[in-house]
């Protein structure tokens, strides 16, 4: 086996082991491929903390946007992304503070409904979509903390990750194969 192939195999193994190490606590994946239809989807992973808070409080995704960007308020969310312990899906997103996104149910009639995050049950279920075309997101691959609170403070229940659409990931893989073939053919 050539030294180049051995280096490529070692680098790929290192990247794979690094990626696997952080996956366990990723509770939400956010696909920003189409900013007019951003997908916010549960991974089905358990929360990293036991927390019980009112549904109207929601959760905050810290540093989803580039530093200094504020989304503002009044954005609708459609779908069924639901926190553990509740039968009601989040249906609003707003600025959760500088660079943060808040998911919540702004219905005071739900004040007695709770989000019951637990280390032994999935933190969220389902997926929702939002038009966030005005947003300036952190780069694909970025991760951040999910706070069980209306701002980025309090209990951290897990992490989110910004991902490309499967088509985008396939394009990156195809590009990598083409680059590897070119590199291999130029060394023969």
CB atoms within 10 A of CB 73: 11
* 92 exposure class (CB count in 10 Å sphere: 0-12, 13-18, 19+): middle
Residues 162 and 39: beta-carbon distance below 8 Å? no
Predicted confidence at residue 69, as pLDDT, reads 81
Q: Taking residues 17-34, what's their average pLDDT? A: 69
Least confident of 20-34, 60-74, 119-133, 173-187: 173-187
The pLDDT tens digits for 68-117 are 787 877 678 899 999 999 988 998 888 777 788 889 888 766 777 899 99
Residues 81 and 128: beta-carbon distance below 8 Å? yes
Q: Read off the pLDDT band of 10 (50, 70, 90).
A: very low
Predicted confidence at residue 19, as pLDDT, reads 37
Predicted confidence at residue 181, as pLDDT, reads 54
Residues 53 and 148: beta-carbon distance below 8 Å? yes
- Please tell me which residue, 184 or 45, carries the higher pLDDT value: 45
Predicted confidence at residue 15, as pLDDT, reads 37
Residue 22 pLDDT > 50: no
String of DSSP letters for the chain: --HHHHHHHHHHHHHHHHHHHHHTTEEEEEE-SSGGGEEEEE--PBPSS-EEEEGGG-EEETT-B-TT----S-EE-EE--EETT-SS---EEEE-STT-EEEE---GGGTT-EEEE-TTSBSEESEEEE--TT--BPPTT-EEEEESSSSS-S-EEEEEEEE--HHHHHHHHHHHHHHHHHHHHHT-
Predicted confidence at residue 67, as pLDDT, reads 86
For the chain, give the mean pLDDT: 78
């Amino acid at each position: 086996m050539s030294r180049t192939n051995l280096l490529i195999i070692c680098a790929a193994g290192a990247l794979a082991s690094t990626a696997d190490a952080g996956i366990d606590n990723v509770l939400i994946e956010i696909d920003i491929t189409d900013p007019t239809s951003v997908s916010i989807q549960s991974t089905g992973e358990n929360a990293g903390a036991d927390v019980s808070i009112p549904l109207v409080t929601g959760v905050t995704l810290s540093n989803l946007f580039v530093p200094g960007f504020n989304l503002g308020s009044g954005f609708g969310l459609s779908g069924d992304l639901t926190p553990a312990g509740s039968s009601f899906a989040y249906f609003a997103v707003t600025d959760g503070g500088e660079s943060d996104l808040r998911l919540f149910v702004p219905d005071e009639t739900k004040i007695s409904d709770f989000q019951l995050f637990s280390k032994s049950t999935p933190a969220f279920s389902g997926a929702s979509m939002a038009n966030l075309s005005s947003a300036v997101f952190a780069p694909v691959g970025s991760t951040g903390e999910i706070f069980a609170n209306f701002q980025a403070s309090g209990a951290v229940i897990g992490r989110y990750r910004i991902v490309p659409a499967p088509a985008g990931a396939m394009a990156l893989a195809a590009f990598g194969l083409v680059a590897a073939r070119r590199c291999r053919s130029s060394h023969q």
